[in-house]
Structure 1
């Protein structure tokens, strides 16, 4: 079975090179990608989630600052930095057009592997922190 920490590093490196093919190659065909904004089930949907992130933040870079492995799972804490240069979909479906604003968001990834690659990849970050950095606020009714 591949080493979970090595695979987490490969996913991060592929993302930082903006190489969607390299990222997708790390995943098993039955892999699942879970984010605060939705779930990608299978390679096509997983690739779509990474692609939309890179469209919204075309200079995005993830900096891993802590990684631990426990069996078939690696956990990484990171900071995502970039510039809002493309459409970003908010919870609820509204879209924020490019603002040119810089972002820096802290988060964590849980990467679970088996002999065929990543079967589960979960990322966690504070959506409100990101939305605030894009210059949006939440109304009393919970709308952005």
Structure 2
């Protein structure tokens, strides 16, 4: 289980690019615009491995995701919309006790009262650039 510290300021998915013999990770402008990060400040960065199959074939639906509504999301914005209903798989629990699921491109969805192994149907209630918040609408698919 991954522990997420209270000091976490930002969480987003990015690709590592090579530019003139160095490697660059682009930080979305929304992280600065929403004051999660400040230009010319130094930050510690953690890299989490993402499944190569999800990165190499974005049209392939991840095993833990079954969307009930067809949406078209560009690769630059969040892969979910407010009001969207979908099945997720809770992977871990955050510091506040909420379930954490990941969907396309490693995007994080926070689900209150969910535990690792649960597979609830949720409704996305609030979408931010790097995280969404959802509520369980059907817990029948939860594991016991």
Q: TM-score, normalised by structure 1?
A: 0.30
Q: Which has the larger radius of gyration?
A: 2
Going by fraction, where is helix more abundant, 1 or 2? Answer: 1
Going by fraction, where is strand more abundant, 1 or 2? Answer: 1
